Amino acid sequence: MILKSTLRRIGAALIVMIGISMLIFAIARVMPGDPARIALGPNATAEQVAALRFERHLDASLPVQYFEFLKALSRGDLGRSLYTNRPVTTDIAQFLPATLELVVVSAIIMVLIGLPLGIMSAHFRGRVPDHLGRLIALIGVCTPAFVWGVILQLFFGYFWPIFPIEGRLLETTPVPQGPTGFYLIDSLATGNVSTFFDALHHLILPALALAMSGLGQTARLTRANMIDVYDKPYVEMERAYGFKPFRIATRYAFRPAFIPTLTILGLEFAAMLGNAFLVEKVFGWPGLSRYGVEVIIRKDLDAIVGTVLIIAAAFLIMNIVVDILVGFINPRIRLAAGKG
């Protein structure tokens, strides 16, 4: 039942990916500017520009260009970047781990702070902790991530310089060699504890800046759902039986309230992959989102399509994962999905 539902979701996701590839492929090519001329610069001759356009099939019709793209994609080839002059898959392999590591740490911060903040606000509804929690959540939601980045840099990089404000490691720290590209994981896997703490030290400020919006959204949604659950008859019965408030909150009220929050957490995680570019720019973080902005400015067609497809795939994968997790948390949803 679960397998059938998952396969159906994967099939739908593949159809969506095809639609996204067609849409972004067309949009990238109707954007103003000649990508061959932009890549070669103003001093290139007309013959050089024409040769590059012929090599990249830029002088062919749009359907022919898309067909050539699909042929290359079937071989795992996303084309060659006009910006870096390297295969797009090589660029993605280099820049994606940095963004993923940043987003994963941001998601952990979002969960570890946002969920307890929402539970506390719901438990102390109408009292000082609730007002304080709602204020923190509202400020987190309303303030853009790059503004948080600048604020954190001023406080913890300038006025109280305890955190670095640029890059993933100090220049004197060797880059950990490992298969994941996650400096935290690779440094631990090689037993390099000093590199691990240096990488973690560099991660804290950008991860916190990126997490603030999702943190506030998680806290607000958790609070609203917990309050709704608190008004249910079975919670009133548990109070009547004399169960402790902490047990009611964590064991009986949180689980049903967590289902909508889990959906938002999954979407926030995927959205951070695309929204991280401003934080990466502020902190000089060499990630995929920053790379994506650079290739858009230079109308680097293959790199634009490849970057968007990776981010779209992350959205779809997280959506499938969240659906599966929700089904495990709530058996009624799992059974309904299996019947559908």
Q: What is the mean pLDDT of each run of 10 residues along the chain (340 residues)?
A: 74 88 84 75 80 80 85 86 87 92 93 91 88 91 90 90 91 87 91 93 94 91 86 76 74 77 83 85 90 85 89 86 75 54
**Do residues 118 and 219 make contact, with C-beta atoms less than 8 angstroms apart?**
yes
Tokens standing for 38? 């932009």
Q: Write down the pLDDT at residue 205.
A: 94
Q: Write down the pLDDT at residue 333.
A: 56
**Do residues 83 and 301 make contact, with C-beta atoms less than 8 angstroms apart?**
no
Q: What is the CA radius of gyration of the chain?
A: 24
Buried b / exposed e over 12-46, threshold 16 CB at 10 Å, is: ebeeeeeebbeebbeebbeeeeebbbbbbeeeeee
**pTM, rounded to two decimals:** 0.85
Tokens standing for 121? 């606000």
Per CATH, the homologous superfamily of domain 89-297 is: MetI-like (1.10.3720.10)
Amino acid identity of residue 199, one-letter, is A
**Do residues 145 and 213 make contact, with C-beta atoms less than 8 angstroms apart?**
yes
3-state helix, strand, coil in the chain (%, to 5): 75, 0, 20
Left, alpha or beta for 284 (phi > 0: left; psi -120 to 50: alpha)? Answer: left
Q: Write down the pLDDT at residue 283.
A: 93
Q: CATH 1.10.3720.10 occupies which residues in the chain?
A: 89-297
Tokens standing for 12? 């739908």
- The whole-angstrom separation of Cα 121 and Cα 118 is 5
- The whole-angstrom separation of Cα 316 and Cα 333 is 19
DSSP code string of 98-140: HHHHHHHHHHHHHHHHHHHHHHHHHHTTTSHHHHHHHHHHHHH
| Span 276-309, pLDDT tens digits | 888 998 999 999 888 888 888 888 888 888 999 9
Q: Write down the pLDDT at residue 339.
A: 53
